[in-house]
């Protein structure tokens, strides 16, 4: 009888402690208390279309999936515009082997964006997000290393999207309406 009470007490105590620790699933990247309800994501410029197309598509997919914002098709309809200014991918040699062949690369992924209100006023100055990953290289595994590079860039792009959305959640709208007396 005493053993059962201890077991019940231990189970109850552990349940209470787990519920009181503050653990909570992350949920949506976009907060529920955004000061705006609609957004327009600028399409990439024609010169950089292939480079920025997947970034814009990924951003739109995350925004639609959040359910917090309405994605508009025109800048005039939206309260806020997310302007994707540039996306740059670089691959730099990090080290060479004794024969002078590449042994490691450093992959860089840079995204510059800004946020504008419906009147064209800048709410968030141009912001640069830089991500980097190192990647070993072996000529005998060239195809596998190319696939790894694509995967690393895709992961960096996903990380950049998450960072953009977190920074978007921190944007404050400027109220330029008439002051009441």
The verdict on residue 154 lying in a domain is yes
Give domain status of residue 22, yes or no. Answer: no
> Which residue range forms the structural domain that includes residue 119?
31-169
Tens of pLDDT along 30-59? 655 678 889 999 876 544 544 456 888 899
**CB within 8 Å of 3: residues ≥ 6 apart:** none
Whether residue 156 is predicted with pLDDT greater than 80 in this model: the reply is yes
Is residue 128 in a domain? yes
Using 50, 70 and 90 to split pLDDT, how confident is the model at 180? very low
Give the residue with greater pLDDT, 82 vs 65.
Answer: 82
- Which letter, b or e, does each residue of 22-39 get, where b requires 16 or more Cβ atoms within 10 Å of its Cβ? eeeeeeebbeeebebeeb
Mean pLDDT (the chain, rounded) = 83
In which residue are the tokens 């920025």 written? 52
Does some domain include residue 175? Answer: no
Q: Is residue 85 part of a domain?
A: yes
9 located within any domain: no
Structure-block tokens of residue 114? 């800004």
Query: Higher pLDDT residue, 156 or 15?
Result: 156
Does residue 177 sit within a domain?
A: no
Find the mean pLDDT for residues 87-91. 94
Q: What is residue 9's predicted lDDT score, i.e. its pLDDT? A: 81
Q: What CATH number corresponds to the domain at position 46? A: 3.30.160.150
Please tell me the total count of domains within the chain. 1
């Amino acid at each position: 009888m005493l053993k059962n009470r201890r077991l019940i007490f231990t189970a109850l105590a552990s349940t209470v402690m787990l519920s009181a620790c503050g653990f909570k699933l992350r949920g949506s990247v976009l907060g529920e208390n955004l000061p705006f309800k609609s957004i327009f994501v600028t399409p990439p410029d024609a010169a950089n279309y292939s480079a920025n197309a997947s970034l814009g598509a990924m951003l739109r997919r995350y925004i639609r999936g959040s359910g917090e914002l309405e994605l508009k098709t025109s800048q005039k309809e939206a309260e806020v515009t997310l302007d994707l200014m540039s996306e740059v991918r670089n691959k730099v040699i990090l080290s060479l082997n004794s024969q002078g062949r590449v042994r490691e690369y450093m992959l860089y992924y840079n995204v510059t964006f800004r946020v504008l209100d419906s009147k064209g006023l800048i709410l968030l100055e141009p912001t640069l997000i830089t991500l980097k990953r190192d990647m070993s290289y072996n000529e005998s595994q060239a195809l596998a290393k190319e696939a790894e590079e694509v995967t690393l860039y895709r992961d960096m792009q996903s990380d950049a999207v998450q960072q953009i959305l977190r920074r978007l959640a921190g944007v404050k709208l400027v109220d330029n309406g008439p002051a009441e007396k």
